[in-house]
Structures are given as C-alpha cells and as structure tokens.
C-alpha cells in the first residue's frame, strides 16, 4: 500500500467518493490541502469570496444534483463563517461535507492564532462532526462523513483536520467509499404491515389529502409520488421545501400549504379526514395553531427520520423508512389489490375543493404605473417557459416565487426554507450553475437579501458562470415591513432600504449586464433580454413598495383563519 500525506489523502478520498467540484477559501491551516488541490487535475475548486458563500454554493450544488456538496474552509474565522451555511443545510436536510482546517494538534486548546472550537461550535448545526486526531483515521472518517451526510435523513457533516494531520503520512487505498458504522444504521425499508395500514386508511377516506415536503425531493421520489396521486385521485399539497415533487400545473395539485399557502390547500387540510404526510415535518409555518391543525383527520406519516414522527403533531399511522422505497411498496400494493373497486368516490370532496379554488386567492390587483411583484414572477415563468432552476433569498420575494412560479419537476427550486437565511440565494445559484451549466439559473431576490452575500458576483465572473438575478426592489425589507404593517400599527422600524448600490453600476463593476424596469410594460422585455444576454445579468425591477404577500395565516392562528386580499 502507498503512503500518502494527510493532504493527499483528503484529495484522493474526495475523488474516491465522487466529488469533482468543491467550494472553498484557503488559509493557514489548510495550506497543505490547497497545495494538493493545486496539483490535482481532477478536483475542481471554486474560490468564493466568503466562506458562507462556499457553504451555500455547496448546498446549491447538492440541491440540484442530489450529490453530497463539498466545502473547504480554514480554521478559526473560516470555520465560524461556515456556521450559517451549515445551519441552513441542517435545517433543510441537505447532504454536505464541510472540511475545516484546525490548528496543529499540539496547539489545540491553547487559544492559538485562528483557533476556534469548531467541533464544539458546529455540533448543533450539523448532522454529525468529527475531529481527526490521527492521519490513520482520515480516509475512514471522510468516508463516514459522506455516508452519514447522504443516508437516512440527510444533512451536513463537518470534518475538522488539524494541520499536522495533513502533513503526517498513512497508508491509503481506494476502497470505493465503503464504511461500517455499528451505531448508525438508518432504516430504509418501511414495515410492510404499516404500509398496508396506509393503504387501508386511503381506502377508508372520503376526504383524503396528501401533504408532501422536502423529503420527497431528497429521496428522489417525485415519480413515485406522482404515480400514487394519479392512481388514487387524491388532492396533493406541497410544503415550501417540497415544491416540484408533484407537477404544479396538474389539476390534482392544490398549491402550497401553510402561512402563505393557498386558500384551497389550507382549507383542505382543515377539512380532510385523512392527512397523508410524506417526507414533511409539520413545521410551525405549515401547521399554524397546532391544536387546530387538521382537526378531523387521521394522520399518516411516512418519514425516514423517526424523530420527525409525532414531534409536533401526534401521528396515528407512522411509517419509518426511505420515502422512495415506502412509496414504491405502497404503489405495488395498490396495483396488486382490488383498490380501484373499493376506493370511495372522491367527487364530493373535489367539489368542495373547487369551491375553495374559486376564491382565486392568488389574484392580485394590477396597477397601471407600478410593477406588481407577483406579475414579475408570473412573467418570468412565461419567459423561461417554467423550466428554469429558480433560487431565492428570504422574504416576500421568496413567497411570491413559491406562489407564482409553478414547478413541474423536482430539484429546480432552491430556497432556505427552515433557517430562512437571507444571503443564501446568490451563492446557492452559483453552486447550482456550477453543477448545471447547460440550464438557466435564475435568482429571484430582494434588494435586502442580495446585499448579504453580494461579493459572490466576483466568483461568478471569475468562473464565468451565468446567473440571471432578478431583484424585486421595493426599497423595503418587505416581509418585516408587512408584519409591522399588520401587527405593529404601521410602525416601520428599521426596514427602509432606500439606499442601495446602483445595481446597474454594480453589474458593470462586476463585469455583468445591468437592466432595469420601473413600469409594468417594461418587465417582459427586460426579462427576455436578461435570458437572451450571455453571462450574468442583474435585473433591477422597481416594484410596488407596499405590496403584501397574500393569503396569510397570522402566526398562531389556525389554517382556516386566513387573511385574504
């Protein structure tokens, strides 16, 4: 067996595990690793302008590909800058591995230069983390990190490597990424008796509703979900994280549910007699007032993570297992039984839903002189023919993107759903584009969020990655302003964003193209121009300053208590 240095082992093991593109930022503790990256012809490294950007880029890369995203940062400030990226991925269960440098083993605990207790700091925002003290453990640890990141309920894993470990040598041989962790064996197959109970519950239901989350996307189970929905005729709603799991253009899709979900989706949750939750976690933004959530329903929950079951809402029929394998088994069971003959007629239920649909809860007033933000997203959908990879930041624009851009396919919608990280968008779009260079990547953002990681325009320029950035610019931190309007008597405390960079000049400064629209009739033209122009384009669209996101379930209210426009 050959002896390699720790730094060589890092690069070799990453290649062994299938990583080809990583995102990072160098520094003292990772110099040896960067020296090996310099020598490697196979491992591509993208230098972001901030470690947070590297983490979000790896996250975006993972969300569009389904692979483990990889980030590399140095010790101390490199690692602390990575924390928000880890926490974002952790909340959304995104498989990622972050390698951080650490001061030499002998100096750990000595308050050395650029030392931070990285394993301590990141313990609660990773699925798991490791400190590698011995170079002989390095390859195994990296393999375990990848395995833990992508199996079970996925999540980010951090591997902290002291500098001396990158110099020391150990034997290395490619083992194809095999691991055996006796204390970690995630459940994959669902219990067949439980799956049969799920089928029985569907057969007993007169008003069923399927509610799916990010888990369906993560498990690559969108096709299996679609089969289930089509064969059973049930209505389906997706969470923010679950958009694209079922075609939004299909009539069985009732829209997103939750705080800014559709009226029909939320009323269906409130009135259903069976709620079939798949790869979702009953987040407070979805359930509203928990005591009045789906009050009449038998609740069935399919999830790979047992801790998600009965955490917020008591579940009547739990099925623990990989969502894809459970759905496959359920579909086979339905196909091979006399399901069709036995299933109750759902037409009365659909009639009820159609009455709710007629409220047209997503309608908004058009204005003659002012651009409505909702119209921008609708126009973008039209211009991109609904087939762009859409990335967002966090706030009103995020909700409008979710409501008005209908996703027909999975892994084309990237948003920080759980943590709600402003500044996620630009680096995540960068990561998505690095993975899918042949597909259009559009970032829908606000003038507030964009400024939180605006430095990544330089990375886009350096890597010649083209992202179309659409700013819904209302010169307000819009979502906070909306809450202040609704719940704080219009006291707009510290939400004014009138002062921003001139985005046209900014585009110019970063070698991108800048476009602007201030009137409704200009919107389609600039969006078409943006999509047709080569390279990164920043489209600054001045929108109605005080437009609100409707419908809305106020925090703490039940889902049937929506504020409609």
Partner 1 sequence: MKHIISVLVENEAGVLSRVAGLFSARGFNIESLTVAPVGDGDTSRITLVTTGDNNIIEQINKQLNKLIPVIRVLDLTDGPHVERELMLIKVAAQGDKRAEVLRIADIFRSRVVDATPNAFTIEVTGDSGKLDACLALLEPLGITESVRTGKVAISRGSKGIRKEPKG
Query: Which residue is listed with tokens 């993560």?
Result: 218
Dist CA 269 CA 551 (whole Å): 15
Smaller CB distance to partner 1: residue 186 or 406?
A: 186
| Contacting range for partner 1; rule: CB under 8 A; set: 46-54, 302-310, 364-372, 515-523 | 302-310
Q: What is the CA radius of gyration of the chain?
A: 24
93, β-bridge pairs = none
| Contacting range for partner 1; rule: CB under 8 A; set: 35-43, 300-308, 349-357, 483-491 | 300-308
Whether 51 is a known active-site residue: answer: yes
Residues in the chain: 565
Whether 114 is a known active-site residue: answer: yes
Environment class of 530 (CB within 10 Å of its CB; exposed 0-12, middle 13-18, buried 19+): buried
Dist CA 59 CA 316 (whole Å): 34
Q: Which residue of the set 8, 36, 51, 456 is catalytic?
A: 51
Smaller CB distance to partner 1: residue 125 or 241?
A: 125
Tokens read off for 381: 């959908």
470, β-bridge pairs = 444, 539
Which H or E element spans position 102? strand 96-102
| One of 2, 181, 332, 563 touching partner 1 (CB under 8 A) | 181
| Contacting range for partner 1; rule: CB under 8 A; set: 45-53, 75-83, 305-313, 451-459 | 305-313
Work out whether strand 274-278 and strand 413-414 pair parallel, antiparallel, or are unpaired.
unpaired
4, β-bridge pairs = 170
In the complex, least distance from residue 188 CB atom to partner 1, rounded to whole angstroms? 9
In the complex, least distance from residue 73 CB atom to partner 1, rounded to whole angstroms? 20
Smaller CB distance to partner 1: residue 314 or 565?
A: 314
In this structure, are residues 184 and 215 in contact, taking their beta carbons and an 8 Å threshold? no
Work out whether strand 2-5 and strand 169-172 pair parallel, antiparallel, or are unpaired.
antiparallel
Strands (E), 61-155: 69-73, 96-102, 128-131
Query: Which residue is listed with tokens 């593109």?
Result: 21
Q: Which residue of the set 36, 102, 163, 381 is catalytic?
A: 163
| One of 20, 39, 185, 340 touching partner 1 (CB under 8 A) | 185
Q: Which residue of the set 39, 113, 487, 525 is catalytic?
A: 113
One symbol per residue from 216 to 255: x for binding partner 1 (CB under 8 A), - otherwise; what is it?
Answer: ----------------------------------------
Q: Restricting to residues 72-111, name those near partner 1 by CB under 8 A.
A: none
Environment class of 185 (CB within 10 Å of its CB; exposed 0-12, middle 13-18, buried 19+): exposed
In the complex, least distance from residue 130 CB atom to partner 1, rounded to whole angstroms? 9
Smaller CB distance to partner 1: residue 141 or 212?
A: 141
Tokens read off for 141: 């640890």
541, β-bridge pairs = 472, 517
| One of 306, 344, 420, 554 touching partner 1 (CB under 8 A) | 306
Smaller CB distance to partner 1: residue 108 or 333?
A: 108
Environment class of 221 (CB within 10 Å of its CB; exposed 0-12, middle 13-18, buried 19+): buried
Smaller CB distance to partner 1: residue 326 or 541?
A: 326
One symbol per residue from 113 to 152: x for binding partner 1 (CB under 8 A), - otherwise; what is it?
Answer: ------xx--xx--xx--x----------------x----
- Is 304 one of the binding residues for partner 1 (CB under 8 A)? no
| One of 184, 486, 487, 488 touching partner 1 (CB under 8 A) | 184
In the complex, least distance from residue 307 CB atom to partner 1, rounded to whole angstroms? 4
- Is 183 one of the binding residues for partner 1 (CB under 8 A)? yes
| Contacting range for partner 1; rule: CB under 8 A; set: 279-287, 301-309, 357-365, 415-423 | 301-309
Environment class of 564 (CB within 10 Å of its CB; exposed 0-12, middle 13-18, buried 19+): exposed
In the complex, least distance from residue 103 CB atom to partner 1, rounded to whole angstroms? 17
Strands (E), 436-488: 441-446, 468-473
- Is 307 one of the binding residues for partner 1 (CB under 8 A)? yes
CA-closest candidate to residue 239, choices 259, 216, 215, 212: 212
CA-closest candidate to residue 289, choices 85, 562, 55: 562
- Is 285 one of the binding residues for partner 1 (CB under 8 A)? no
In the complex, least distance from residue 131 CB atom to partner 1, rounded to whole angstroms? 7
| Contacting range for partner 1; rule: CB under 8 A; set: 310-318, 368-376, 399-407, 459-467 | 310-318
Query: Which residue is listed with tokens 């952790």?
Result: 90
Rounded to 10 deg, the angle between the 347-357 and 263-271 helix axes is 140
Whether 163 is a known active-site residue: answer: yes
In the complex, least distance from residue 536 CB atom to partner 1, rounded to whole angstroms? 40
Q: How many residues bind partner 1 (CB under 8 A)?
A: 22
Whether 479 is a known active-site residue: answer: yes
Smaller CB distance to partner 1: residue 213 or 478?
A: 213
Q: Restricting to residues 313-342, name those near partner 1 by CB under 8 A.
A: 314
- Is 310 one of the binding residues for partner 1 (CB under 8 A)? yes
Which H or E element spans position 411? none
In the complex, least distance from residue 309 CB atom to partner 1, rounded to whole angstroms? 8
Tokens read off for 550: 């409707």
Question: Cα 210 to chain center, whole Å?
Answer: 20
Query: Which residue is listed with tokens 């706030």?
Result: 395
| One of 8, 201, 224, 305 touching partner 1 (CB under 8 A) | 305
Smaller CB distance to partner 1: residue 184 or 488?
A: 184
Smaller CB distance to partner 1: residue 322 or 540?
A: 322
| One of 80, 105, 187, 252 touching partner 1 (CB under 8 A) | 187
Three-state DSSP class for 388? coil
| One of 196, 311, 359, 409 touching partner 1 (CB under 8 A) | 311
Whether 113 is a known active-site residue: answer: yes
Work out whether strand 317-320 and strand 513-517 pair parallel, antiparallel, or are unpaired.
unpaired
Dist CA 79 CA 380 (whole Å): 37
Rounded to 10 deg, the angle between the 520-532 and 373-383 helix axes is 40
Q: Which residue of the set 114, 194, 455, 529 is catalytic?
A: 114
Contacting residues toward partner 1, per CB under 8 A = 119-120, 123-124, 127-128, 131, 148, 181-187, 305-307, 309-311, 314
**Residues labelled catalytic:** 51, 113-114, 163, 479
């Amino acid at each position: 067996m050959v002896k390699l240095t720790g730094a060589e082992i890092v690069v070799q093991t990453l290649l062994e595990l299938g990583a080809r593109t990583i995102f990072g930022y160098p520094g003292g503790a990772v110099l040896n690793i960067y020296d090996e990256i310099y020598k490697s012809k196979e491992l591509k490294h993208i230098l972001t302008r901030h470690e947070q950007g590297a983490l979000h880029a790896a996250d975006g890369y993972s969300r569009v590909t389904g692979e483990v995203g990889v980030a590399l940062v140095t010790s101390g400030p490199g690692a602390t800058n990575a924390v928000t990226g880890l926490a974002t991925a952790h909340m959304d269960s995104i498989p990622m591995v972050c390698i951080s440098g650490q001061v030499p083993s002998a100096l750990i605990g000595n308050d050395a230069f650029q030392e931070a207790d990285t394993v301590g700091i990141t313990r609660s925002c990773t699925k798991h983390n490791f400190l590698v003290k011995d170079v002989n453990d390095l390859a195994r640890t990296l393999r375990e990190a990848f395995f833990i990141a992508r199996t079970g309920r996925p999540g980010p894993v951090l591997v902290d490597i002291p500098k001396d470990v990158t110099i020391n040598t150990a034997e290395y041989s490619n083992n194809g990424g095999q691991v055996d962790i006796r204390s970690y064996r995630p459940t994959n197959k669902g219990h067949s008796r439980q799956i049969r109970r799920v089928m029985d519950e569907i057969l007993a239901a007169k008003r069923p509703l399927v509610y799916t989350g990010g888990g369906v996307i993560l498990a690559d189970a969108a096709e299996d979900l679609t089969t289930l929905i089509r064969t059973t005729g049930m209505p389906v709603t997706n969470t923010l994280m679950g958009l694209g799991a079922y075609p939004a253009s299909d009539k069985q899709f009732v829209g997103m549910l939750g705080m800014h979900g559709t009226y029909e989706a939320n009323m269906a949750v409130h009135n259903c007699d069976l709620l079939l939750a798949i790869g979702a976690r009953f987040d407070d933004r979805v359930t509203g007032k928990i005591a009045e959530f789906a009050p009449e329903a038998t609740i069935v929950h399919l999830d790979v993570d047992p801790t998600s079951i009965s955490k917020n809402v008591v579940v009547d029929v739990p099925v623990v297992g990989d969502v894809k394998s459970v759905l496959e088994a359920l579909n086979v069971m339905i196909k091979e039984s006399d399901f069709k003959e036995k299933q109750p007629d759902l037409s009365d239920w659909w009639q009820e839903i159609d009455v709710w649909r007629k409220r047209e809860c997503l309608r908004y007033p058009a204005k003659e002189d002012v651009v409505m933000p909702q119209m921008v997203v609708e126009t973008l959908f039209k211009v991109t023919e609904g087939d762009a990879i859409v990335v967002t930041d966090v706030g009103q624009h995020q909700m409008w993107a979710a409501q008005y851009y209908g996703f027909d396919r999975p892994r084309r919608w990237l948003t920080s759903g759980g943590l709600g990280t402003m500044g996620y968008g630009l680096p995540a779009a960068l990561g998505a584009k690095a993975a899918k260079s042949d597909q259009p990547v559009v970032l829908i953002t606000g003038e507030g969020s964009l400024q939180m990681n605006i430095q990544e325009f330089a990375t886009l320029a350096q890597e010649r990655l083209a992202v179309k950035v659409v700013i819904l610019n209302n010169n307000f931190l819009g979502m906070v302003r909306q809450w202040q309007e609704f719940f704080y008597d219009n006291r707009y405390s510290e939400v004014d964003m009138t002062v921003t960079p001139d985005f046209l000049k900014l585009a110019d400064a970063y070698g991108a193209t800048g476009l602007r629209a201030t009137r409704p009739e200009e919107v389609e033209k600039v969006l078409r121009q943006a999509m047709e122009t080569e390279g990164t384009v920043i489209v600054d669209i001045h929108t109605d300053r005080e437009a609100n996101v409707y419908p809305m379930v106020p925090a703490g209210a039940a889902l049937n208590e929506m504020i409609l426009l």
